[in-house]
Amino acid sequence: MQPTTPERWDGLIIGASLATLAGARGYGEIIDGALGWRDGRITYAGPRDALPGPPSSLAREVIESDGWITPGLVDCHTHLVFAGDRAREFELRLQGASYEEIARAGGGILSTVQAVRAADEDELLRQSLPRAHALLADGATTLEIKSGYGLDFANERKMLRVARRIGVELGITVRTTYLAAHALPPEFSDRPDAYIDAVIDWLPRLHEEGLVDAVDAFCEGIGFSPAQTRRVFDAARALGLPVKLHADQLSDLGGAGLVAEFDGLSADHVEHSSDASVRAMAQAGVVAVLLPGAFHVLRETRLPPLDAFREHQVVMAVATDCNPGTSPLMSLRQAMQLACIHFRLTPEEALRGATVHASRALGLADRGMLKVGMRADFVQWRVRHPAELGYWLGGALAGAVWVGGERRATQAS
C-alpha cells in the first residue's frame, strides 16, 4: 500500500551514492542510493531499488542527483567570532618569533581581545558571519563557537550572543562554549586567581540567559594551571554543564587526564598528552579533537599520540580551530585534508572525525550519520568517491548542503 498524502516525505534524493557511516568501520557505502526525509529527520537511507514504492508516491519533492552524499560536517572546535586579524603576527612567526614570545609581549590572544572589545555586537556579527558562511558552504552544518576574546562579562556575553545570532542567521545548529579562561586580561595582570574568581562569577549569569552549552579553558603555561582549570570545571559541574579543554598543546600539564576526571566531552589539541592521560580518556569516553590547522600554521613537529589513541580506542575528531592567530582556516574539509597529511589519518578516519566523532565531541547524538531518525543534515559532493574529501587541496566540492531537510545557500549574499 502506498503512503497516504499526509505521510509523504518532504523530500527524496535518488541516484547519488551514500556514505552513511552507520557502521563501526568503513564508509557504509550504498551505490545508487536514495535518501528521504520528513520534518527535518531522515526517513530512508538505502538502495534506490529497495524503496517502498515509486519515488513520486513517496515524497513531495524528488531530486535526481549524482556524486556522493555524506552526513553534514560538524566543526566541533572554532573561535570564529572575533574582530580584526593577526596577519602581522603571522609574519613575525615566519621571521622566527615563537607563539609564546608573541603572547608574552602582549600580542596573541590579547590583541584580538582589544579588537573584540572595540567592536559593538552588530559589527562583531558583520565580521564573523562570512567565516561561518564559508564553513557552511564547504559542508559544515553544525558549528561550535567559543567565547574567550572578551575576557570581561560584557564582552564575553557579546561574543556568545553573536554566536547565537549566527545560528539564527544561517539556520544551523551552533553550540556555544564559554572560554573566559582563555588568557589573563590586562586589568587582572599578575592576579590569575582573582580572574578565575570573576570567570566563575560570570558563568551562572550567562548560563541563565541561555548562552552557554559547555565550558572550556586554556590549560597551559601561558594560560591557566590545572588547579585553576579545576575550579572552573567545578563551577561548570555545579550548573550541570559539560566541559572540554584546550589540553596539552604546548606541554603536558595533564590536561587531558583532568578532562577525563570530569567525564568531559573532549580534550583538544593533545599533542603532548601522556599515555596515562590517553588511558584516562579511553576509560571516561573523552573524544580527542585533532586540530591540524594550528599544527600546520605553527609548524609544530610534536604529533599527538595517534597510535595510543587507536590502541586504547579513543575516538578522534577533526576540527578547524578557526581563529585569527594560529588557525585562520575556514574549511573543515581542508582540516580533514591536513589531518590526513600531518597526522596520517586515513580519509575515512578524517571523515568520521568531522562527522560521527565530532558530533560526540559536542554531546550531540542525533547527527553525524545517514540513518533513519537522524537529523536531515547532509551534503551532496561532486566527487567520485568519499576518499576525495581528504584528497583535494581546496576547491569547491560541495554541490548542495541541506540542514534539517532544507537546502541552504552556499554563497554569501
List the binding residues.
77, 79, 86, 149, 182, 246, 249, 321, 323, 325-326
Burial class (CB in 10 A: 0-12, 13-18, 19+), 15: middle
First-to-last alpha carbon distance for the chain, in angstroms, is 45
Question: Which amino acid, 284?
Answer: A
The residue behind cell 572554532 is: 78
Query: What is the total residue count of the chain?
Result: 413
Which amino acids are annotated as binding site for Zn(2+), given as ranges? Answer: 77, 79, 246, 321
Question: What does the alpha-carbon distance between residue 123 and residue 338 come to, in Å, rounded to a whole number?
Answer: 32
Binding residues for 4-imidazolone-5-propanoate: 86, 149, 182, 249, 326
Residue type, 411: Q
| Other CB atoms within 10 A of residue 191 CB | 12
| DSSP H stretches of helix in 150-291 | 153-170, 192-208, 226-238, 255-261, 275-284
Annotated binding site for N-formimidoyl-L-glutamate: 149, 323, 325
Binding residues for Fe(3+): 77, 79, 246, 321
- The sign of the dihedral angle between the CA atoms of 250, 252, 253, 258 is positive
Contact 327/293 with Cβ under 8 angstroms?
yes
